[in-house]
Structure 1
Amino acid sequence: MELTLNPYASTLILSSLLVAGLSVYIGLKLEDSVRWIVFAMASFSVWGFFYGIELASQTVDSMLFWSKWQYIGLVLAPACWMVFTLKYTEFDTSKKRWIYPSIFFLPIITYLIVLTNDWHHLHYKSNWLITSGPFPILGVEKGVWYPVLVAYSYLFYFLGTVILWRRFRYANIHFKLQTRLLIIGGFFPLIINVFYQLSWIKPYEGLDLTPYAFLFTYFFIAIAILQFNLLNLKPVARDKILEVMTRGVLVFDHRNKLIDFNSASKKFSFQPEQIKIGQHASIIFSERPEILDLILGRENKTIESRFTIDHSERVLRVESVQIADQKSLVLGILVLFDDITEQIKTTEQLKKQAEELTKLNELKNKFFSIISHDLKGPVFGVKELIHLTQNGLVTEEEFLEMLPEVSKNMENVALLLENLLAWTSSQILGEFIQAQSIDLFKLVTSQKNLLNRMASEKSVAIELLGFENTWAYGDKNMLELIVRNLISNAVKFSKPNDQILISCETKNEKLKLCARDFGIGISEENLKKLNEGISFTTRGQANETGTGLGLILVREYIVKNGGTMTVESVLGEGTKFCVTIPEGINPHKA
């Protein structure tokens, strides 16, 4: 068979080989369901290659021989296109298993008719050689089966395109270009073929430009697949994956422009209207520089971003993931958003509860230590003194001499018991606050009188300042315990002949009650413990003992009554405890 190459034949042969090579390469990269586009491309390559050899042939017999080879690709291309669109769009064929075999039924019948055309002439009625052009072309008279080939080819291309179009509404914006390119790849060559069938475009009386059109369009589709990873994920599958994700997803390309996102991402965005394809990261995150730096850094990294929305503080975990090719070249960045506000709150709450539990456990241990030592000692001492007196081992005169010291110890025991019972009640039962307006001057005076004997033993003077017409609003029992502990604490750490100032001032509907002593002061370590609510105890100037519960109760009761407590102290110069209490209403003026 003599072959004489010409520009048309050479172009077809070379382009067919190129598209065939690309098809093989791409076929190894794509998954099975998408690989059918490669089979379609390979079919067009077979069609174009052997049509190119036909155009280089010089005789009718030679042309008919190569024509039978080209029909392998010609009859299979529409079928492969149809199968591709069904699989690509995940068309449900589970209940219609006959669909795929039926697609190939007509192509197989057509090819058998082409092979046996010399016996029945159903495809070509007659053939001749056209020599009016620069090279010989096969002239044919169409048989009755030829329109069937054209009809089912057009039908398959049309149905496949309709299936793509119907599924188009499920595709993300990023896949619009992909879908349009596929539709153009199917329609543009068909338009050329329609013009050929109508003899509107038929150079040299018989040259078919359809293979050129198919090879041209699918060459660019192949380049798009390789260059832009086209068809790397089917739109329907991809959209389903993204939309069911509760995390926000943004995908940026190498130019930091947004190329994909899911609907959840707008929930985590500070400017949801800026979430659109093609938008630059610097615009989307203009108000969140830490997230923008994360994207521009192009690293696999996770950060936390805090912001306020609707007067509520939210915490986002933002994770960036590199998108790289096989050569580790970064093609873009994937940004994932997750609202961890509740998780953070739960963690902080658990941490706080653990700290509170530790403190309570320490207080419990201290509680038992107090009962076994500070409470047991004085009570057993009184018991032993009474026993000795009854047995005559201690005379009445000796007993009377010891009585002031016993009385002093019993006062300490009473205060200790009161604090222990109050603390136990607060930890086990909780308190029921009965808030009322209270004459603060009368309350402080009564507590001062209770502690006057303790103060007089150390020659400590207690002076009240600024209590003219001062009414507090709170629970009377709690306020009494607060004042009693503040005064007793000041007496305990005062030196002999010192002075204690109990002052009160009104500001912004709050009473500020302060107890100022000029004793030894508090060390920085113990001052820190006080501010953190940690229990501790130290002995007073006259070796007085304590439990450490008093100031803890003061702080707790003040908070429950809507106030605050502050401590100022200079070691060696004294301490000033101040509490704020809501101001009450003087009933005599109401």
Structure 2
Amino acid sequence: MELEINFLSAVLIFTSLLVVGISTFLSIKLNEATRWIALTMFFASVWSLFYGLELASKTLEDMLFWIKLEYLGISFTPAVWIIFTLRYTGFRDWNSKWVILLTFCIPVITYLLVLTNDFHHLHYAKTWLEDSGPFPFLGIEIGPWYLIHTIYSYLAFAIGTLILWKRFQFSDPLFKTQTQLIIAAGLFPLFFNLMYQLEIIKPYEGIDLTPFAFLFTYLLLGFAILQYNLFSIKPIAHTKIMENITRGVIVFNSKNKIIEYNPASKKFCANPSKIKMGAHVSEIFEENQKILALLESFEKQTITTEYQKSGEIFNIKIESIPILDRKSILGGTILIFDDITQEMKINQQLREQADDLRQLNDLKDKFFSIISHDLKGPVFGVKELIGMTENGMISKEEFIEMLPEVSRNMEQVSILLENLLAWASSQIRGEYVEPQEFQVLPLLENQKKLLGRIAEENKIKIEIDSAEDLRIIADRNMMDLVIRNLVSNAVKFSDPGGIIKISANSGKDQTVRIEIRDFGAGISQENLIKLRDGISFTTRGLHNESGTGLGLILVRDYLKKNKGHLEVESEEGSGTAFTVVLPSA
């Protein structure tokens, strides 16, 4: 095999060997995604190397031998270019069997047809030795498969270029520069090949300048990668980082258009489909002036706002980071979104728990005050009375006269003691609720019987209006204490000769409403607000009965534990109505 090196073949052989060396080095240095650009350079240099040897050959047989090796580069360069663009832009299924099959099917067939062209002439219909130029070169007449492979090559480079452009058209300047350089490296040789196919630029009616164009662009690209560390920030790595950040990140350029965002950012928008490359901020957050104002600021800011999505309100914290150049000119803004809905709920719960704890402490102080005063006073009074009777200081007749008053005091002490024990039980070890189904009427009649004597002594009449078949589901012992406290309060604040009306009726949403209404002193507006807010207060009854405020606290607590609640209506001087609402059976 005799070779005669000419100027064109020398240029091709030398530069292709240089590009082979650069591409081999880059394939080791670069990461997996950008390594494919080095492989594209390698296959293009294989094409150029053997085309240079083809131009240095003197016989047709030698030229056909080199062209079979040359087609390793010609066939597979477009396929490797497609894989590079898919990997570089982060396409996840780049290595699926269908992508690989569709990408490499035609290159493999092309290479096999070139190897066996003498038997079918599908790729080259005819070949001959052309000696009309300064040196001999291969003359060809194209076959049908040559056209198929040419169309495939153009489509491959066009699709790859489109993939790159769509992914990085709104990206930051670094990625945009890289992308423009890569696109130029793909389109520049394609232009010369098109001119060759159309016979517009075809020196000596047969020289193909495409390999020269490939070598020129890839030589520049290789030096750019080596000299300026062009791919030090790799889009695929950048994309992976953005995908794995749990907080939402949106990057806007100086025109307030999106140039980058991560998947997590979509959950911070009421309409996620609006977040896309090139979208203007006013299209995405048109109703949120706080966010729009962030993009006009030259300073780092943090705001909290809320948005509604699927009927649910979310609280978000947004941090804005302005992107300033060396002259402090605003080049864009990074918005970082953080969902603080749960955090705000927890903070609210902590505040509520702090309030509850403060009220509990106040209640504890009141508890000891009750023990030292309201409970101790009557008990010590009875003790002194008994002692004075034993010592003869009080006669038997005087003692008997005092018994009704002592009895009334003991009734109050009994109710107070029961409330204290119930409250202590619920605070120390919690209250175990035993819900059961029972009739309302016996519950009301039993409490009327227990408090009837106190009511009669004050000439107060208790009336009950309830259907016999009305039933509720609740803890019976707790409901006894609830009704007893409310009826006792009604007695305390009713005028002599007054009426207390107790009624029970079916309510809405499968509930039973038990109303205890008196027509006595009523509750002041100030105390009514405290009562509705669950704040404890004390008031002496119309018959000088002492009060602790503990009873209503227990009433609310027990109703809550039985899935019920307390309603209150009152007008000072006209009376009060307490309504117990409980689930019906």
Same fold (TM over 0.5): yes
Q: Structure 1 residues 192, 457: closer, same or farther in 2, change over 3 A?
A: closer
CA distance in 2 between partners of 1:533 and 1:242 (Å): 49
Partner of 2:356: 356
Instruction: Decide which of 151, 162, 170 is 2:90's aligned counterpart.
Output: 170
Residues 174-193 of structure 1 aligned to structure 2 (within 5 Å): 176=168, 178=176, 179-187=178-186
The structural deviation recorded for 1:487 is 1.3
CA distance in 1 between partners of 2:201 and 2:81 (Å): 25
Could you tell me whether the CA contact under 8 Å between 1:89 and 1:163 is conserved in 2? Answer: no
Residues 569-580 of structure 1 aligned to structure 2 (within 5 Å): 569-580=570-581
Could you tell me whether the CA contact under 8 Å between 2:34 and 2:231 is conserved in 1? Answer: no
Q: Structure 1 residues 562, 271: closer, same or farther in 2, change over 3 A?
A: same
Listed one character per residue, the Cα deviations across residues 365-405 of structure 1 (whole Å, up to 9, x for unaligned) are: 22122112211111111122222222222221221122111
Q: Structure 1 residues 400, 237: closer, same or farther in 2, change over 3 A?
A: same
Whichever residue aligns with residue 524 of structure 1, its letter is: Q
Does residue 485 of structure 2 align to residue 485 of structure 1?
Answer: yes
SS at match of 1:506: strand
Could you tell me whether the CA contact under 8 Å between 2:444 and 2:464 is conserved in 1? Answer: no
Could you tell me whether the CA contact under 8 Å between 2:270 and 2:307 is conserved in 1? Answer: no
Q: Structure 1 residues 560, 166: closer, same or farther in 2, change over 3 A?
A: closer
CA distance in 2 between partners of 1:88 and 1:330 (Å): 33
Whichever residue aligns with residue 181 of structure 2, its letter is: L
Q: Structure 1 residues 86, 160: closer, same or farther in 2, change over 3 A?
A: farther
Equivalenced residue count is 460
SS at match of 1:246: coil
Listed one character per residue, the Cα deviations across residues 544-589 of structure 1 (whole Å, up to 9, x for unaligned) are: 11221111111122223332211122233322212223334xxxxx
The structural deviation recorded for 1:261 is 1.3
CA distance in 2 between partners of 1:477 and 1:536 (Å): 25
Q: Structure 1 residues 240, 507: closer, same or farther in 2, change over 3 A?
A: closer
Q: Structure 1 residues 539, 87: closer, same or farther in 2, change over 3 A?
A: farther
Partner of 1:539: 540
Computed over aligned residues only, the root mean square deviation of the Cα atoms, in angstroms, reads 5.0
Could you tell me whether the CA contact under 8 Å between 1:81 and 1:160 is conserved in 2? Answer: no
Partner of 2:241: 241
SS at match of 2:351: helix
CA distance in 2 between partners of 1:83 and 1:271 (Å): 47
CA distance in 2 between partners of 1:507 and 1:199 (Å): 93
Whichever residue aligns with residue 256 of structure 1, its letter is: N
Residues 84-233 of structure 1 aligned to structure 2 (within 5 Å): 89=31, 165=85, 167-170=87-90, 176=168, 178=176, 179-187=178-186, 233=233
The structural deviation recorded for 1:419 is 0.9
CA distance in 1 between partners of 2:342 and 2:305 (Å): 14
The structural deviation recorded for 1:159 is 13
Could you tell me whether the CA contact under 8 Å between 2:521 and 2:572 is conserved in 1? Answer: yes
CA distance in 2 between partners of 1:78 and 1:322 (Å): 44
SS at match of 2:466: coil
Could you tell me whether the CA contact under 8 Å between 1:538 and 1:546 is conserved in 2? Answer: yes
Residues 221-300 of structure 1 aligned to structure 2 (within 5 Å): 233-285=233-285, 289=288, 293=292, 300=301
Could you tell me whether the CA contact under 8 Å between 2:493 and 2:541 is conserved in 1? Answer: yes
Partner of 2:304: 303
Partner of 1:385: 385
Q: Structure 1 residues 328, 76: closer, same or farther in 2, change over 3 A?
A: farther
Residues 462-501 of structure 1 aligned to structure 2 (within 5 Å): 462-464=461-463, 466-469=465-468, 471-473=470-472, 474-501=474-501
SS at match of 1:381: helix
Q: Structure 1 residues 512, 161: closer, same or farther in 2, change over 3 A?
A: closer
CA distance in 2 between partners of 1:202 and 1:394 (Å): 142
CA distance in 1 between partners of 2:470 and 2:547 (Å): 31
CA distance in 2 between partners of 1:232 and 1:327 (Å): 26
CA distance in 1 between partners of 2:584 and 2:414 (Å): 30
CA distance in 1 between partners of 2:80 and 2:469 (Å): 89
Whichever residue aligns with residue 168 of structure 1, its letter is: Y
Partner of 2:439: 438
Q: Structure 1 residues 361, 246: closer, same or farther in 2, change over 3 A?
A: same
CA distance in 1 between partners of 2:84 and 2:31 (Å): 7
The structural deviation recorded for 1:448 is 2.0
Could you tell me whether the CA contact under 8 Å between 2:522 and 2:573 is conserved in 1? Answer: yes
Could you tell me whether the CA contact under 8 Å between 1:161 and 1:183 is conserved in 2? Answer: no
SS at match of 1:534: coil
CA distance in 2 between partners of 1:446 and 1:163 (Å): 86
The structural deviation recorded for 1:407 is 1.0
Could you tell me whether the CA contact under 8 Å between 1:82 and 1:160 is conserved in 2? Answer: no
Could you tell me whether the CA contact under 8 Å between 2:243 and 2:262 is conserved in 1? Answer: yes
Unaligned runs of 5+ in 2: 1-14, 43-69, 93-162, 170-175, 225-229
Could you tell me whether the CA contact under 8 Å between 1:302 and 1:318 is conserved in 2? Answer: yes
SS at match of 1:170: coil
SS at match of 1:348: helix
Q: Structure 1 residues 308, 399: closer, same or farther in 2, change over 3 A?
A: farther
CA distance in 2 between partners of 1:434 and 1:289 (Å): 49
Does residue 448 of structure 2 align to residue 528 of structure 1?
Answer: no
Partner of 1:511: 512
Q: Structure 1 residues 377, 476: closer, same or farther in 2, change over 3 A?
A: same
Partner of 1:45: none
Q: Structure 1 residues 293, 563: closer, same or farther in 2, change over 3 A?
A: same
The structural deviation recorded for 1:88 is 6.5
Listed one character per residue, the Cα deviations across residues 317-337 of structure 1 (whole Å, up to 9, x for unaligned) are: 333332332223222232222
Q: Structure 1 residues 524, 376: closer, same or farther in 2, change over 3 A?
A: same
Partner of 1:39: none
Q: Structure 1 residues 436, 298: closer, same or farther in 2, change over 3 A?
A: same
Q: Structure 1 residues 76, 189: closer, same or farther in 2, change over 3 A?
A: farther
Could you tell me whether the CA contact under 8 Å between 2:285 and 2:291 is conserved in 1? Answer: yes
Q: Structure 1 residues 464, 499: closer, same or farther in 2, change over 3 A?
A: closer
Whichever residue aligns with residue 502 of structure 2, its letter is: I
CA distance in 1 between partners of 2:192 and 2:476 (Å): 100
Partner of 1:399: 399
Does residue 371 of structure 2 align to residue 371 of structure 1?
Answer: yes
The structural deviation recorded for 1:202 is 7.7
CA distance in 2 between partners of 1:297 and 1:232 (Å): 31
Partner of 1:554: 555
SS at match of 1:568: strand
CA distance in 2 between partners of 1:529 and 1:580 (Å): 20
CA distance in 2 between partners of 1:444 and 1:192 (Å): 98
Unaligned runs of 5+ in 1: 1-72, 94-98, 104-150, 223-229, 585-590
Q: Structure 1 residues 190, 506: closer, same or farther in 2, change over 3 A?
A: closer
Partner of 1:43: none
CA distance in 1 between partners of 2:440 and 2:168 (Å): 79
Does residue 368 of structure 2 align to residue 448 of structure 1?
Answer: no
SS at match of 1:401: helix
Q: Structure 1 residues 171, 467: closer, same or farther in 2, change over 3 A?
A: closer
